[in-house]
Chains A and B, each alone.
Chain A
Amino acid sequence: MSVGQLAQGKMPVAVKDAAKKDWLYLVALVAFTLMALMALIGPWIAPYNPTQLYAGPENGLPTAQNLLGTDDLGRDVLSRILCGAGVSVFAPIIIVLLSTIIGSLLAVTAAWFGGITRGTIARIIDVIFAIPGLVLAVLAVAMFGKGLPAPIVALSIAFIPVVARLTQTAASRELGKPYIAALRVQGVSSLAICFRHLIPALVPVVAAQMAVGFGYAMLDLAAISFLGLGQQPPAADWGSMISGGKTGILAGAPEQALFPSIFVVVTVLAVSIIGARVTAWAEEKER
């Protein structure tokens, strides 16, 4: 059985089984699917151009014309949320994918070869780990200027240690199990052991870690935008909208900060519930 089959074939079964028992999980799945859908088609269903000034009154309350109200420049909040969804949802996915691929590769390499290779990789990971993700992202902005590309790359790097350490622990534990020794005694080739047995065994752990990582990536990226170093005006993502909405609060119109906040929180909450379920699934596999 291939990695792909395991990753794709087994998961939906686990998902279906769990969904029968757990409405919270089902709600989370639906919520995340909606968010992802919004990210995909947001710009096409947005009622206004997100940067169009005075699509309504300044700091307007929700009305039939502006369902979620307007911001201090009269821009439609709903349209800005829909158009910002793409960046807010997909940028964290890029971060998770990049860090997972690099981190897992480093981890499997370290666990497989051991010795000096493992020592060197561990030292590199220690150094990356020493720099908090937010600091690395701000450093990247200082180097390459404001905007999302630099923080995305920086956070991808900053997330490597967590993935690598977790995966390496799991890989070492797996390699220490008697069934791997049994395969060696059988004369199964190293490559076959690695690809047919070790890597499939790590899929659940890595999947669970990806779900957890997505939440953190989304929050960190929103934080960067909130600090004014990420998405630059007039374009917006949820983080920068929350930051921009601060003035609205003082002007008695909190909606423009609250609504994007709700979208961030709901997405992260949904993913963390899904992540918890994937973790439970991973532990189930372990038994």
Chain B
Amino acid sequence: MSNKPVLELDHLSIAMPHRTLVHNCTLAVAAGEAVGLVGESGSGKTLSVRAVAGLLPDDFTTGGAIRILGRDVAEMGSKERKELRATRIGMVFQTPRAHLNPLLTIGDFMTEALVHVAGKRRTAADRRAAELLDEVGIPDPVRRLRQYPAELSGGLLQRVMIAATLAMDPEILLADEITTALDVTTQEEVMAVIGDLRKHRELSMLFITHDLALASAVTDRVAVMQHGRTVETLHSATMRQEARVEYTKVLMAAALDEAKPEELVRDRDATSVLAVSGLSKTYQVPGATGGRETLVALNGVSFELDQGGSLGIVGESGSGKSTSAKIICGLERADAGTITVTGEDWSLPARGGAARRGRAKKVQMVFQDPYQSLDRRQTIRECLSEAIRVHRPSDSREAVTRRIEELMRQVTLDPELADQRPKSLSGGQRQRVAIARALAADPEILVLDEAVSAIDVTTQVEILTLLDTIRRETGVALLMITHDLTVIRRLCDRVVVMRAGRVEEYGTADEILDAPRADYTRLLLDSIPREGWKPRRRRPGRTSAIPTITLMHRVKEMRGL
């Protein structure tokens, strides 16, 4: 490792007209080093990396210095700067599908920089593109080159993006939340690919993420950013001991805390409040060849939820977990199977207003994105009073006001906020409103569909604690739909693991998290970044060995072609 940094941000500040967004971002990435830049949404981490890549809007101004290979980009001519960025920096983004031109094939995309920037011939570029796809472990690269982005999955596309940045043999990879949109097992695959590349290529990396555990597992050092400032920089391996800043500790607690909930004192013969049996559902989707294809969303799913208990349904995207929630809440209709709630048959959606209100009294739901699930034209007071009036249409105004205050207290929301609209609330406050609205009916079951996924990690912990408290106080049973096993650990006593519409494993939280029986559960658990975790490739990857490329070697090769 040489001591001259590949990338150096020195008191970088970024301002849009009339407002400074990043005050001080200071960090350095040495050759071959990987540095994580961690912070919650709005901390300025993405803006900082976009400044490095030259992607800020025209009316933004920067202060401080960005040095690439020891040279200040502000002092370079625009042509030189552009060339430096094109050849020395590679950038990968959060949403690969949006960042690829949908009208170009993977091959066009891969060879574009080689042909139009490096000036290679078409055939040479094609050959190189296939090699690069192979290097990131994409099977059958030649066929992939002819396909369009719409034909590839998100995980594959992200690898294509990584392969494309390698085409110019960059010094440093800027990775902006590259696995956030991916499932946890796919995340591991992509991170494993990056780990391999860094080993073979002496590639430096600036890894931007909100996930401190992931950052510490795949980088050498981590810079923590809050409110537009880097507050501290730690060595990943000894992060826990080194952390001094309170905010870092909170982040760490939120990400790494695996404490179990306190045991609930419950009746031994708790009756089941919800029983689902043999639930099946298929959708008709447009198929690859023009006709319609049948997508099996649920295939014979069964589980039970005890009175006052909490059941987690875990699975990756497409596992059918959300479809189950929708069917239980009457938003979708099952093809087969039965649902029993407090002894009543709920297999078919409710007919008529009275029946719907009756069911609403028993089962309520909290959605993933509170901003989307609240009517943004309503104030909190209007929203809650509407929810209360559904079940008590003749209550006096005073009674409704009292109930609103009670609900807001229950979800620890400042009553002063009652006349605000969702727009002026934070993410955590919005989700509290959504929970209060669900509690208005005094339900027996609360369905939480990824209810904390869209929220920053520190707030996530608060909401989960709140839900646990509510469960203890009111005895409401929780049905928690999530992709995140750490959430399950904190809140659930029983767990269903789902995959491709089937139940893979069903048992108590302890059994599943500590002694999983199904291979898939084990895979899910192993994919979660934690202390001492290293991403591994689990599927057959490359088809030939990667030649180890050194920096010296590469410069010659570029001239030769």
A interface residues (Cβ-Cβ under 8 A, vs B): 1, 6, 177-179, 181-190, 192, 196-197, 200-201
Contacts and interface: CB of A to CB of B under 8 A. Distances in A.
Contacts of A197: 375, 377
Contact of B360 (A177, A178, A186): A186
Nearest to B367: A178
Nearest to B388: A186
Contacts of A201: 375, 377
Interface stretch (B86-94, B154-162, B351-359): B351-359
A190 to B, nearest CB: 7
B377 A200 contact: yes
A187 B441 contact: yes
Interface of B: 329-331, 353, 356-361, 363-365, 367-369, 372-378, 382, 386-387, 390-391, 434, 437-438, 440-441
B434 A184 contact: no
* 5 nearest CB pairs, A to B: A187-B360, A187-B357, A178-B373, A178-B372, A182-B373
A185 B357 contact: no
Given A185-B330, A187-B361, A197-B375, 20 more contacts: A1-B377, A1-B378, A1-B382, A6-B377, A178-B367, A178-B368, A178-B369, A179-B374, A182-B437, A184-B331, A186-B386, A186-B438, A186-B441, A187-B353, A187-B358, A187-B390, A187-B391, A187-B441, A188-B386, A200-B377
16 contacts: A177-B372, A179-B376, A181-B331, A182-B434, A185-B360, A185-B364, A186-B360, A186-B364, A187-B353, A187-B358, A187-B359, A187-B361, A188-B390, A189-B357, A200-B377, A201-B375
Nearest to A10: B377
Contacts, number: 69
A177 B377 CA distance: 14
Given A187-B357, A187-B360, A179 B390 contact: no
A191 to B, nearest CB: 8
A200 to B, nearest CB: 6
A114 to B, nearest CB: 14
A100 B391 CA distance: 36
Most chain-B CB neighbours within 10 Å: which of A187, A188, A190, A201? Answer: A187
A200 B331 CA distance: 23
Contact of B330 (A177, A184, A189): A184
Nearest to A286: B376
Contacts of B378: 1
Contacts of B437: 182, 186
Nearest to A6: B377
A185 B390 CA distance: 11
Contacts of A181: 331, 367, 373
B375 A179 contact: yes
A185 B377 contact: no
Contacts of A177: 372
A69 B487 CA distance: 81
A158 B46 CA distance: 50
B365 to A, nearest CB: 5
Contacts of A190: 353
B385 to A, nearest CB: 12
Most chain-A CB neighbours within 10 Å: which of B359, B365, B391? Answer: B365
Contacts of B357: 187, 189
A185 B374 CA distance: 13
A2 to B, nearest CB: 12
B386 A185 contact: no
B121 to A, nearest CB: 47
Given A178-B369, A179-B372, A184 B356 contact: yes
A85 to B, nearest CB: 37
Contacts of A184: 330-331, 356
Contacts of B368: 178
B382 to A, nearest CB: 7
B353 A185 contact: no
B329 A185 contact: yes
Nearest to A181: B331
